[in-house]
Amino acid sequence: MQNTIGDCNDDAEINISDIILIINNCIIDINTELNCNCGDLDNDDYVNVIDIILLVNLILTS
Ligand SMILES: [Ca+2]
Ligand SMILES: [Ca+2]
């Protein structure tokens, strides 16, 4: 599944739901079925707190 960067639940909006999804699936690693590339905002191949901060900024400035 190819998601838009930041829109991990693929509902065409980037919001808090996507942040929760990324934290649960890619950082806490509850469910590895999610393609975590959608949460890698700075494109360094790792999903971490930096990507969450970028996502929050993206939401706040959109
Ligand atoms: Ca979304
Ligand atoms: Ca990253």
Residue type (1 letter), 62: S
- Residue 54 is assigned to a structural domain of this protein: yes
CA–CA gap between residue 11 and residue 45 (Å, rounded) = 23
CA–CA gap between residue 4 and residue 13 (Å, rounded) = 10
Q: How far is the CA of 41 from the centre of ligand 2 (A)?
A: 5
- Residue 9 is assigned to a structural domain of this protein: no
- Residue 51 is assigned to a structural domain of this protein: yes
pTM: 0.83
Helix (H) or strand (E) segment spanning residue 21: helix 16-22
Q: How far is the CA of 30 from the centre of ligand 2 (A)?
A: 18
- Residue 4 is assigned to a structural domain of this protein: no
pLDDT at 1 over 60: no
- Residue 38 is assigned to a structural domain of this protein: yes
Q: How far is the CA of 39 from the centre of ligand 2 (A)?
A: 7
Do 51 and 23 contact (CB within 8 A), yes or no?
Answer: no
Q: In this predicted model, what pLDDT tens digit does every residue of 11-58 receive, in sequence order?
A: 999 999 999 999 999 999 776 678 899 999 999 999 999 999 999 999
Residue type (1 letter), 52: I
Residues 6+ apart with CB under 8 A from 20: none
Give me the number of domains the chain comprises: 1
Identify the residue with better confidence: 17 or 2.
17
